[in-house]
Amino acid sequence: MAFSFITSDAFRQLFQSMSEGIIMVEESGKISIANPVAENMFGYRTDEMVGMSIEDLLPERYRGNHISFRQGFNAHPEPRKMGIGRDLTALRKDGTEIPVEISLSYTRVDGRLFIMAFISDISLRKKAEDALKRSEEQLIVYAAELEHKVKARTEALNASIAKLETEVIERKKAEEEARKSLERERELNELKSKFVSIASHEFRTPLSTVMSSASLIQQYKDKNDLEKVDKHIQRIKSSVEHLTSILNDLLSLGKLEEGKIDIQLENIHAHSFLSEISEEMTSLKDGQKLKINCPDDLNILTDARILRNILFNLISNASKYSDQHKSIFIDCSLKDERVHFAVRDEGIGIPHEDQKFLFDRFFRASNAVNIQGTGLGLNIVKRYVDLLKGTITFSSEYEKGSTFTVSIPQQ
């Protein structure tokens, strides 16, 4: 027998019991022997494979290449793995194909080359690998789908959040507007009720003065006491002036509230302007004098009507809150392109704790309650000053006097 070495019992036992399929091939490619595992793997009966060509165990499409591969191996045989980096496929007797892994070795018997192929059926492993690959691919698809869904949901969520935010902002705006209009309505109501109380309180004194002076004039006229008649005519005049000034304040306030005041700029010669105001101040107390200190070359481009109202109000207050025979000082000056008017008196002053409320509508200081007034004048003055893009400040010392300073742009 040509391969007497395989007849030895030890080798046969080893050969038969190997867990891999083993096929031994001659140089020509003819199968010399195959172990049971190999026969089983390829679906052949015992000894059926002997004499077959090794290419018979390959799918048709690989056979041509395999012959030249085999010849190459025969020329330089060395133990190695077959098909590194690619899948090997074998053909079973029933025509089905199986994935395999093959290691090659060789031996020489009596100078003849025998090639040994150690074959493992890796169907199961391949299936598992394929399944794994499929799961991985599936996983990638799932991940992509998930990412897509998450993206879509995030976008939808962001859109809802943005919508919600807009709604919240709009609702807040609407609430704010409602609150403001309520506030305006409340202020208007407050104004109306204050007006009623001012009208009934502030109008009563001058009106009763007018009434009593009128009847007294009648009596003094009969007695021909002209001096007393004059005195009461004066009283009537100042009561009417007082009533007019209250009505003017209320009118100004109404116009300011409605935003109905337009600015009309005109050129004013400061000194002449102050002198005119001084002449118009007929309600000064006995012996009160206005002392004007103003450079003769000072001209201003501003709204004369508004500036007159401002100064008139401040000078009236200086007079009202000072005793008879006290002077009132009006200084005007130019600094940094702004004109400063300071109205100073030596009157009752403003208690320190009241000073911060001075420009609030209807506010009256605690030492002014017995002096007629509405608490509207300074509020109006402040708003007029704002219209002229100016500022108003004051300093005051209780029982010593006060200075109110208005600064407006020269142009």
Token pair 């009202």 in the structure block, residue? 320
Q: In whole angstroms, what is the distance from residue 339 CA to residue 313 CA?
A: 18
Closest CA to 210 of 192, 226, 233, 227: 233
Count of residues in the chain: 411
CB of 252 to ligand ADP, least distance (A): 12
CB of 349 to ligand ADP, least distance (A): 6
Among 90, 198, 284, 368, binds ligand ADP (CB under 6 A): 368
375 scored as a contact of ligand ADP (CB under 6 A): yes
Residue 282: how many other CB atoms lie within 10 Å = 9
Return the structure tokens found at 4.
């007497």
What letter represents residue 339's amino acid? V
377 scored as a contact of ligand ADP (CB under 6 A): yes
List the x/- string, 348-367, binding to ligand ADP by CB under 6 A.
xxx-------x----xxx--
- Closest to ligand ADP by CB, 329 or 363: 363
Residue 257: how many other CB atoms lie within 10 Å = 13
378 scored as a contact of ligand ADP (CB under 6 A): yes
- Closest to ligand ADP by CB, 21 or 373: 373
- Closest to ligand ADP by CB, 21 or 375: 375
CB of 257 to ligand ADP, least distance (A): 16
Closest CA to 396 of 373, 377, 368: 368
> How many residues sit close enough to ligand ADP to count as binding (CB under 6 A)?
21
Backbone angles phi, psi at 27, to 5 degrees: -60, -30
CB of 311 to ligand ADP, least distance (A): 13
- Closest to ligand ADP by CB, 38 or 314: 314
220 scored as a contact of ligand ADP (CB under 6 A): no
Among 33, 402, 406, 407, binds ligand ADP (CB under 6 A): 402
Token pair 């409605």 in the structure block, residue? 258
Q: In whole angstroms, what is the distance from residue 200 CA to residue 193 CA?
A: 11
Q: What are the CA-CA distances from residue 67 to residues 114, 159, 171 (Å)?
A: 15, 68, 86
- Closest to ligand ADP by CB, 143 or 371: 371
Contact 19, 37 (CB under 8 A): yes
The interface with ligand ADP within residues 259-318 (CB under 6 A) comprises 317-318
Return the structure tokens found at 36.
């049971």
Contact 366, 351 (CB under 8 A): yes
406 scored as a contact of ligand ADP (CB under 6 A): no
- Closest to ligand ADP by CB, 307 or 378: 378
What letter represents residue 274's amino acid? L
List the x/- string, 315-354, binding to ligand ADP by CB under 6 A.
--xx--x-----------------------x-xxxx----
3-state secondary structure of 290: strand
The interface with ligand ADP within residues 81-140 (CB under 6 A) comprises none
- Closest to ligand ADP by CB, 18 or 240: 240
Closest CA to 266 of 388, 91, 87, 99: 388
- Closest to ligand ADP by CB, 268 or 378: 378
Q: Which residues bind ligand ADP (CB under 6 A)?
A: 317-318, 321, 345, 347-350, 358, 363-365, 368, 373-379, 402
